[in-house]
Structure 1
Amino acid sequence: MSNEEQYWYNTETGAVEVGRRSSWSHLMGPYGTRAEAEAALQSAKSRNESWDKDDEDWRNK
């Protein structure tokens, strides 16, 4: 996948970028589609909630 085919979510602007154009400190990705990049924050939130539950389950064993 070339850089132009990658999508990035910019956490500072809330915009999706095609190809990496902004500072790494503000980007999430790369994603294969615009839709995946647009859902970056929700995906991260869901992943974090799942990991938190796994941690809690592990501590309660």
Structure 2
Amino acid sequence: MAEDTDHLFWYNMRTGAVEQGFQSPSIDRVGPFQTRVEAEHALEKLRENSAKWAEEEAEDNR
């Protein structure tokens, strides 16, 4: 079953705007997110994931 992308949200990294559906090129956006609020906090989530992955990588290299 295909996902209904018209009702999902993306964060546009170039403009800083939250978009519903495919409005901008994929290179400019991250997501999808289920809600507008989740998309508004995309940068925080990316930072959290980045820190977690760096920590995991450091553990693997010990």
Structure 1-normalised TM-score? 0.91
Amino-acid identity (%): 33
1:2 to partner: Cα distance? 1.7
1:33 to partner: Cα distance? 0.2
Mind listing any 5+ residue stretches in structure 2 that lack a counterpart? none
Aligned to 1:59: 61
Alpha-carbon distance in structure 1 between the residues aligned to 2:28 and 2:61: 33
Deviations 1:19-44 (A, max 9, x none): 11101110001110001101111101
Aligned to 1:18: 20
Counterpart of 2:46 (choices 40, 44, 47) is 44
1:3 to partner: Cα distance? 2.1
Q: CA RMSD in A?
A: 0.9
Alpha-carbon distance in structure 2 between the residues aligned to 1:22 and 1:54: 33
